[in-house]
Homo-oligomer: A and B are copies of this chain.
Amino acid sequence: MTKTETRIQKKNQAAILAAGLKVFSQYGFRGSTLDQIAKEAGLSKPNLIYYFASKDLIYKALLDRLLENWMEPIYQIDATGDPVEELIGYARRKLTMSQNYPAESRLFANEIIQGAPQIGDALRGELRRVVKKTASTIDAWVAAGRIQPVNPYHLIFSIWSITQHYADFDVQVKAVMGPEDPFPSAQDYLENMLRRMLTASPGASG
């Protein structure tokens, strides 16, 4: 019996989080309503509140879950691996994640644009730490002459922005490309860009 309830609980919590993600990612926190989320989740509003005591908590639960996954790819960069392949691999994982989880990407974008009221601490804490470490790795690669000189922070920002662009600005991308055009591979573009960026002969930029 407890088991059954737990199963229902999990099912409903998952449904609420899925619904919350869909709604929050499109309208932002303040622009979303519990009615929308409840309808999307197929639950009554009071029942929704039974699982998450407030609108705020649904949002926070989503962001908590998101943050873990969101930083995962960067942890996998191997300082002992081949620099170019490591960075291309990172970009590839980021892009795949954005393509597979566009709503999560938009939720994140909304949160940041609105000033990161919920995850500001995490950004200034864990995220800053891991980026700093990765920047050191890149700086070391540059110092060792294994990749072209590059500011590691800007490099990381550009990987973030390009990969997320396809999710966050999906509507604009589709508007510009037109509905019928076969969509050329962003993966290839990104890989190509990084390869040239990191391996271009110094003479080319002189």
The segment from A12-20, A52-60, A137-145, A193-201 that touches chain B is A193-201
In the assembled complex, which residues on chain B have CB atoms less than 8 Å from the CB atom of A51? none
In the assembled complex, which residues on chain B have CB atoms less than 8 Å from the CB atom of A30? 27-28, 30-32
Interface size of A by CB at 8 A reads: 60
In the assembled complex, which residues on chain B have CB atoms less than 8 Å from the CB atom of A96? none
Main secondary structure of the interface of A (DSSP, over half): helix
Chain B residue with Cβ nearest A164:
B161
The segment from A1-9, A75-83, A147-155 that touches chain B is A147-155
Q: Is the CB of B150 within 8 A of A157?
A: no
User: Residue A49 at the B interface, CB < 8 A?
Assistant: no
Set B29, B161, B204: member contacting A199, Cβ < 8 A = B204
